[in-house]
Amino acid sequence: MEQRQSQKSATDTRVRLNKLIADSGLASRRAADRIIEEGRVVVNGKKVYELGIKVDPSEDKIVVDGKPLRSKAAPVYAVLYKPTGVLTTMEDPLERPTIKEYIEDLPVRLFPVGRLDWDSEGLLLLTNDGDYANRVMHPKAEVTKTYLVKVDGQPPEEKIQKLLRGVTIEGGKVAAKSVERIKRGKDQYAWLKIVITEGKNRQIRQMFEKIGFDVLKLQRVAIGRLRIGAMDRGELLFLNEVAAERVFLPDEPDEVRKKKTYQGRQKSLKTSARDTATKRR
């Protein structure tokens, strides 16, 4: 009996290798899987490729890219206002601008949760907490993403309704949770606020292409109820845990209508944003 209990205790100390890498703050769980598949992880002197492998952090020697794996880092949460013309990655073989220049001097390594296209701007969530990143990215969480979109014309109401009913794009059928016209700029081009829960590649652009319109500008202004507020392009804000959890609260259209304009709500959030985050330029 004592031997069986001892074996069970030893088993309980073992964790999945990809989780351990994510917990260290080195990469997200999904990126950790790629690191393992590429043979960049060595456990007790041997390369491992098996994604489901379990290790004992207190006993096994784990090396990633030639460097010992660090112990679990304290969770850090941040948001970056990603400008257009910047890739949501740390390295680019073509040497194009990446988000690395905004976070490389930080004392902790952060990775993006999700992505924004090269030609899109707005709120980008960053963390070193792999479990948190997985919660945000999991389809069952249905985290809302809110965008302001400028299109090359004025979509009629029947076209807007088509976005709400759903359109088929590369990767499957998607539908907007809400679409609302925003008064901004010239009447020649429409501005709309659209809320989605999926996160397919270039989803918003493909959705508008399906109804016959090209996207001229695209800005993500909220993830859940974590809003961009009065942030400047290239600005980084650190979040406390309470603010980080706001991504799991849906961005409800009725809440938006309480303000006269979307710009007005942005200005009103400037003070609260500074209270819940530490500013870094």
β-pair type (215-223, 121-127): parallel
What are the distances in angstroms from CA 247 to CA 41, 173, 197, 230?
A: 32, 24, 12, 18
Beta carbons within 8 Å of 173's beta carbon, 6+ residues apart: 166, 167
56 belongs to the catalytic site: no
Helix segments in 81-236, DSSP class H? 100-103, 130-137, 157-165, 203-210
Catalytic hit among 33, 56, 60, 117: 117
Contacts of 104 (CB under 8 A, 6+ apart): none
Q: Round the CA-based radius of gyration of the chain to a whole number and report it.
A: 22
User: Which phi and psi (to 5°) does residue 18 adopt?
Assistant: -65, -35
Q: Of 148, 150, 214, which Cα lies nearest the Cα of 187?
A: 150
In one letter, which amino acid is 42? V
- Rounded to whole angstroms, the Cα distance separating 104 from 120 reads 21
CA 199, 201, 234 angle in degrees (round to 5)? 80
| Residue 140: DSSP 8-state | G
Q: Among all residues, which ones are annotated catalytic?
A: 117
